[in-house]
Chain A
Amino acid sequence: MFITATASSVVGLAASEGAKMPLIPHIPELIFGLVMFGILYAVVAKKVVPNLEKAYAERTAAIEGGMKQAEEAQAAAAAAKEQYEAQLAEARAEAARIREDARAQGAEIVAEMRGQAQAEASRITESAHKQIEADRQQASHSLRADVGRLSTDLASRIVGESLHDEARQKGIIDRFLAELEAGDIRPEKVGADAPAGQDA
């Protein structure tokens, strides 16, 4: 450009004066500037930058290592917590199950007891019924015998003659009682509880 052109023309002018012109490079300085740069560049490129970059890399590694360690610790803590929680949940579930079991068992026991009690009760009731029935039958038998004897005694006393003829007597009483049971004869005083007749 114009400056270079003018500068070259100025060189001719200022050559004798050496360094009067500030825009004309002093050649030793130019060369020395390159030498300075070369020396410093060699040092920086060979030593300074590699050393610092190595330190940076180590630092990054250290920080990342630390972070990794912390991450591991965190993971371990998280795992422990999870395990603990799992155990806790398990324990809770177990407790609930035991409680449920106990309740079920209790209910079962209650039901069983109730069943037993009911069975016992019904058994007792039944045996009582049976006893009663037996008693009643016994009573009815003895009553029937008594009634028969009494009525024959009564009748014989009324008739004045012994009706203790075995054959007749049996037939009469039995026929009478059968009629009574069939409802052909209305009991007026004796045998007010009619259904008892069915048990004969």
Chain B
Amino acid sequence: MSLTALAASITSLPAAEGGEGFQPPTTDIFWLPLFGKGDWAITEQMVWGAIVTAFLVIMLLALSKRAAVIPSKGQWMLEGLYNFVRNGVARDMIGTREFLKFVPLLFTFFTLILFNNLMGIFPLAMNPVTGKIGFPIAFTLVVYAVYHWIGIKRMGLGGYFKHMVPEGLPGWIVPFVGLLEFITYFITRPLTLALRLFGNMFAGHMVITLFVSAAAYQLLDGGAALKALSIPTGLMAAIMVLFEALVQFLQAYVFTLLAASYIAGALADHGDEH
């Protein structure tokens, strides 16, 4: 990182001396309207989201249509992904008794988020769909509705609120813990769930764009020293792309894992961690 800091300080030098310097990317790079204007414009991310959804629908149907005892290569790959969600997330978090009901939900979340995330490093798109906060909020709304609905259905409205406070606490502390748990259940959880996904994708895309545009600026507009520096900067961009691939997978996993843990918390008798 010291290299890039150096690069940044060098890039700022020509700007001070004269002419137009390097303009770091702003958050405007996420605003990509295709059709229409203003509040109801169809954005590029929506188109990519539609493509991802169509791709997933077609692929999942095609690979699972003739699901056999002895899997074909495609089915085997699908089963790897499916088992990861089914056994690694749903069964571990929710428990063997009731996890099967929630597998479709979690599998949908995982695949949809994973592939929408992966659009951030997919060469044609190079723009994570989930980097627009509308999508994470939509997914989080579903999780939010599902786990509250399960909790209230399971324990009743009063029982659900009562279950948020762990038993055996001294009387005077109950209101404080209750308030804290209430905030956790109704504000912190959905907020962090949506913002975590959004923030990771957003920041990752910003970092990649920053490195790529810096490398391009150094190569095209810089002097000899800056042209040489564009190589490590470009390399850094490539490393960040690989790192983003990891983060994109991890965030899809984390979102699914947390959704499963919230559902498990609403199913269980005791208050779970956040």
Q: How far, in angstroms, from A18 to B30 measured CA to CA in the complex?
A: 12
Listed residue (A31, A36, A37, A55) with the most chain B CB atoms within 10 angstroms of its CB: A36
Contact segment of A42-50, A131-139, A155-163, A182-190: A42-50
In the complex, residue of chain A having the shortest beta-carbon distance to the beta carbon of B75: A55
> Is there contact, CB below 8 Å, between A48 and B107?
yes
Per-residue A-contact encoding for B131-175, CB less than 8 Å = 1, 0 else: 011111111011000000000000000000000000000000000
Q: Which of A3-54 contact B (CB under 8 A)?
A: 3-4, 18-34, 36-37, 39-41, 43-45, 47-49, 51-54
In the complex, residue of chain A having the shortest beta-carbon distance to the beta carbon of B106: A44
A192 is an interface residue with CB less than 8 A from chain B = no
> Is there contact, CB below 8 Å, between A33 and B67?
no
Which chain A residues lie closer than 8 Å to B57 at the CB level?
Answer: 39-40, 43
> Is there contact, CB below 8 Å, between B138 and A49?
no
Q: How far, in angstroms, from A39 to B39 measured CA to CA in the complex?
A: 24
B183 is an interface residue with CB less than 8 A from chain A = yes
A103 is an interface residue with CB less than 8 A from chain B = no
Q: How distant is B86 from chain A, measured CB to nearest CB, in Å?
A: 8
> Is there contact, CB below 8 Å, between A40 and B53?
yes
Per-residue A-contact encoding for B99-114, CB less than 8 Å = 1, 0 else: 0100111011101100
B49 is an interface residue with CB less than 8 A from chain A = yes
Overall SS of chain B's interface: helix
Q: How far, in angstroms, from A175 to B119 measured CA to CA in the complex?
A: 161
A62 is an interface residue with CB less than 8 A from chain B = yes
Q: How far, in angstroms, from A25 to B188 measured CA to CA in the complex?
A: 18
A1 is an interface residue with CB less than 8 A from chain B = yes
Overall SS of chain A's interface: helix
Number of residue pairs A-B, CB distance < 8 angstroms: 140
Q: How distant is B47 from chain A, measured CB to nearest CB, in Å?
A: 10
Q: How far, in angstroms, from A21 to B103 measured CA to CA in the complex?
A: 35
Interface size, chain A (Cβ < 8 Å): 39
Per-residue A-contact encoding for B33-72, CB less than 8 Å = 1, 0 else: 1000111111101100110110011001100110111010
Q: How far, in angstroms, from A30 to B135 measured CA to CA in the complex?
A: 5
In the complex, residue of chain A having the shortest beta-carbon distance to the beta carbon of B56: A40
Question: What would 12 more interface pairs be, CB under 8 Å, given A28-B134, A36-B112, A62-B69?
Answer: A22-B202, A32-B138, A33-B135, A33-B139, A36-B50, A36-B52, A36-B138, A39-B57, A43-B57, A55-B69, A55-B71, A58-B69
B interface list, Cβ under 8 A from A? 27-28, 30-31, 33, 37-43, 45-46, 49-50, 52-53, 56-57, 60-61, 64-65, 67-69, 71, 75, 78-79, 82, 100, 103-105, 107-109, 111-112, 132-139, 141-142, 183, 187-188, 191, 202
